[in-house]
Amino acid sequence: MKKVHSKKGRIGSSFDDFLKEDGIYEGVTARAIKRVLARQLSELMQREEISKTQLATRMKTSRAQLDRLLDPENESVTLGTLARAAQAVGRHLRMELV
C-alpha cells in the first residue's frame, strides 16, 4: 500500500488510493453514486408525498423500471432514466468530470 505523508505528519494511504491500487475505484465510485441518487430520490418522493405510481406516470415508465431505479444495488440504470426521474420530481441531474 502506498504511503502518503500529510501536512499533519500522518503516514498512511487514502481509501481512494487503496481502491485504485486494487483496480476497483471506478466501479466502487459508480455504485456509490447510484446509491446516493436512489436515496435522494426516495427522500424527495417522501418529502413531496409522491407515490411510486405517480412518479412512474410522470416519468412515462413502468413501476418495475422505477423499482430498479430506486434499488441501490441495481446498477443497470441509464443516465436518461436518472435525468427523467430528476425532472419528474422538479430537479435536474448534474454530473461533472473532475
Proportion of the chain in helix, strand, coil states, percent, rounded to 5: 60, 5, 40
Residue 63 maps to a domain: yes
pLDDT in tens, 5-21: 555 555 556 877 877 77
Residue 4 maps to a domain: no
pLDDT in tens, 28-76: 777 888 888 889 999 999 999 999 999 999 999 999 999 999 998 888 8
Residue 97 maps to a domain: no
Q: What is the pTM of this model?
A: 0.69
Residue 7 maps to a domain: no
Cell of 42: 426516495
CATH code (residue 81): 1.10.260
Residue 49 maps to a domain: yes
H or E segment and range at residue 4: strand 4-5
Q: Please tell me the predicted confidence (pLDDT) of residue 7.
A: 54
Residue 95 maps to a domain: no
Q: Please tell me the predicted confidence (pLDDT) of residue 29.
A: 77
* Residue numbers of the domain that contains 50: 13-88
Number of independent structural domains in the chain: 1
Q: Please tell me the predicted confidence (pLDDT) of residue 12.
A: 56
Residue 5 maps to a domain: no
Residue 17 maps to a domain: yes
